[in-house]
Structure 1
Amino acid sequence: GIADGPLASTEAARAGRIIPSDDTLSFLGPLGLSSALGCVPTSMDERMRATIQLLAGLGITTCSDLRGLGRGPVCERFGDVGQRLWTLASGGDVVVPLGVRAHSDLSVERDIDSGGERIETMTIPVTRAADELSGRLFRAGLVSHTLRIDVTDGGGSSRTRTWSGCDLSVSADIALRVRWTLTGWMSATQGPSGEVRSIRLTACDPHPGDSASALWGRGHREADVSRSAVRIQGLAGPDALLMPRVQGGYDPRSRVVMAPWGAGEALRSRSGAWEGAVSKPPATLFEEPVPVRLTASIGAGSDVCVDQRGALTAPPAYLCAGRSAHRESDRCDALAGLVGPARIRSVAGPWPVAGRWWEGERARAYMRATLEDGRVVLLVWSGGEWMVEGLDE
């Protein structure tokens, strides 16, 4: 088959057709967006799948549907993933950097004939698989920092987990992460439906060269940090050591997630349009929001709310403690003085945020209030009440 662009040429080859350049768009039009998954790098696969799933929920399922949205809105909303998807759906060519040789993922699979009900009895096949994978990478002169583990049980159920930031040249590190994956699955509510029957280890995105990482620098310091982290997880479990990661979101709370060290969970892209997002995060973000009240005057019956149009029902004059006025945590100490009314000097907002309504997010509105003592609080109106999200001293 012959056609313009990687997606069109792939589909033309499958159909055994020659597609003239002028017919590329009409040929791609009815094609499902999921066909583009075979034309993206492994590092973009998870984000591309999430984007295609989101578009499908909005009724955008084919290449012609996507082109109907316009290139600008697609790229603005979905960033580099949207740009790649648009290029493929339009029959364009994907630029591959010169001098970079692509290598396929390396996989090793082991069948568990017996003893698959206990982790201890699977030690030997797991160790052999880890040794083989690290050996294949070494002999090929490749390195990889991403390990994907696929486990299948006798009942047909499977579990997949991806670990990033690990050194696959060390077989002991590979085996340890397999053990964590098995431990997490077997202790989960929806665990395996039978004995473990097979384990597949995959080194994702292998590339030539020595192991390197820019996060902690090179050499002994990086090795010491990684070794300490692995030791902690080995003693207390993979979820015992969490690290903050930043993703896209409308507000400071949704932009920060805590993920296990070395885990490769997919995060929301920070690029694209987050219309109505709160721009400047507060210096202090409370672990849990603090309920408060805004009033137009001192006394009952003067509460300030946000109406259905996203506007304040009255100019707020005082900030008072909400239903948890007692100091039960450090967050209440940080808001010292709010047990009694605190005078509000000025406000900015509110900014209504519809959120990702297709994911069940509740509509809310954010506002900044400057208090008489100079402190600035970030407030959110949600579910019929005000809460303090964070604080700037």
Structure 2
Amino acid sequence: MVDRASEAVELLRGLGIRTCADFLGLGRGRVCERFGDVGDALWILASGGDGNVAPTDRIQPDIAVECSIDAGGESIDTMMVPIVRLARDLALKLAQGGLVSQTLRIDVEDAGGGQRTRTWSGCNLWAPDDVALRVRWTLAGWTSGVNGPSGAVASIRVTACDPREGHGTTALWGRGDRERDVLRSVVRIQGMAGPDALLVPRVQGGYDPRSRVVMARWGSESRLRSCEGAWEGRIAQPPATLFDEPVRVRIVGESGIFDDVRVDHRGALSAVPAYFIDPHDTTRSTSGRGRRVAITRVEGPWPVGGRWWAKERPRAYMRVLLEDGRDVFLVWQGGEWAMEGLTQ
């Protein structure tokens, strides 16, 4: 990946992209479409995100297979026979070397000297159908675009980038019809709407539930923060339900509704939490300030300093068991309490 990253940086420099701001201005979708996993890694670094270098036993060179299209380069359907053969040859080379790769680079050249390069992440290169499908959609995107080919397709090269030792995950007897349909739909959506069109949740290292969950591209090996190591002060038991947006609430002491419980800069409570007040729930509320429910148990608070370079504010988390049976996960931030989630 280091070599491909260097090539990407040199190409960007030649295009006049010399600062992180210039690079981010290209848009993440276009960067990932052109450079694949390398572009995603460069984007994370340029935007100040956390990078994670995956350990590897031995660096393997990229594996490429190329074929010439002597006839039928005007039609994608006509080219599918050599494309499938090309995909099988690539899978065979990986299998013979005991290698796996999830990054596919496709280079196409037409008779007029035009070129098209597309990098796909999250591929199973042991499955020729996967490779052939991505080649097909790369050609379809090129021929339907404004800057299409200047002639018939003359050659196609597929490259397994950054292979490593391992075994493929393709089932012995192949895929079922349902799995093939899902794969075709995913590849089509990514081809039309970009690599970030389909996202799945992944768990990474972090101090609190919200920072430990990240949405990653479908099928990709995302560079996540390691869950191993010492995350001092982390929340050991995250809530079962995490809200999309925290819900603002109040925590008050025994003295009454005006005795708001606060957290000081050392992470200590100003009073013993006695009641939970939800301003949005006015059922059985005589004051109009929200329903008040007694707190029967308190765990925490757990202060988190926050990463200032990521514009995170200091915060503190607390878990309370309410009289009505709800197990609520709370966050204190910016002088306010909010519900982050529910355990029950």
TM-score between both structures, scaled by the size of structure 1: 0.54
Q: Give the match's secondary structure for 2:291.
A: coil
Distance 1:275 1:385, change over 3 A: same
Distance 1:203 1:370, change over 3 A: same
**Equivalent of 1:252 in 202, 205, 209:** 209
Q: Is 1:306 matched with 2:284?
A: no
Per the alignment, residue 338 of structure 2 pairs with: 387
Contact kept? 2:202, 2:215, Cα under 8 Å: yes
The one-character-per-residue Cα deviations of 1:280-327 (angstroms, maximum 9, x if unpaired) are: 1122222332221111247553222222222222221111114x4489
**Equivalent of 1:281 in 222, 238, 258:** 238
Shift, 1:157, TM fit: 12
| 2: CA distance, partners of 1:287 / 1:183 | 37
Distance 1:110 1:361, change over 3 A: farther
Per the alignment, residue 104 of structure 2 pairs with: 148
Shift, 1:340, TM fit: 0.8
Shift, 1:349, TM fit: 1.3
Identity %: 44
Shift, 1:181, TM fit: 7.3
Distance 1:233 1:158, change over 3 A: closer
Shift, 1:242, TM fit: 4.0
| 1: CA distance, partners of 2:253 / 2:141 | 52
Per the alignment, residue 320 of structure 1 pairs with: 277
Per the alignment, residue 115 of structure 1 pairs with: none
| 2: CA distance, partners of 1:285 / 1:183 | 40
| 1: CA distance, partners of 2:140 / 2:328 | 43
Q: Which stretches in structure 2 are left out of the alignment for 5+ residues?
A: 1-36, 69-73, 284-288
Distance 1:130 1:246, change over 3 A: farther
Distance 1:300 1:339, change over 3 A: closer
**Equivalent of 1:138 in 89, 92, 96:** 92
Q: Which has the higher contact order (CA 8 A, sep 6+)?
A: 2
Contact kept? 2:137, 2:188, Cα under 8 Å: no
Contact kept? 1:229, 1:261, Cα under 8 Å: no
Contact kept? 1:150, 1:160, Cα under 8 Å: yes
| 2: CA distance, partners of 1:361 / 1:265 | 22
Higher helix share: 1
Q: Give the match's secondary structure for 1:273.
A: coil
| 2: CA distance, partners of 1:157 / 1:235 | 18
| 2: CA distance, partners of 1:194 / 1:326 | 59
Shift, 1:253, TM fit: 2.0
Distance 1:139 1:231, change over 3 A: closer
| 2: CA distance, partners of 1:358 / 1:242 | 26
Tell me which moved more, 264-273 or 312-321: 264-273
Q: Is 1:176 matched with 2:133?
A: yes
Contact kept? 2:100, 2:166, Cα under 8 Å: no
Contact kept? 1:232, 1:241, Cα under 8 Å: no
Q: Give the match's secondary structure for 1:174.
A: helix
Per the alignment, residue 304 of structure 2 pairs with: 353
Q: Give the match's secondary structure for 1:249.
A: coil
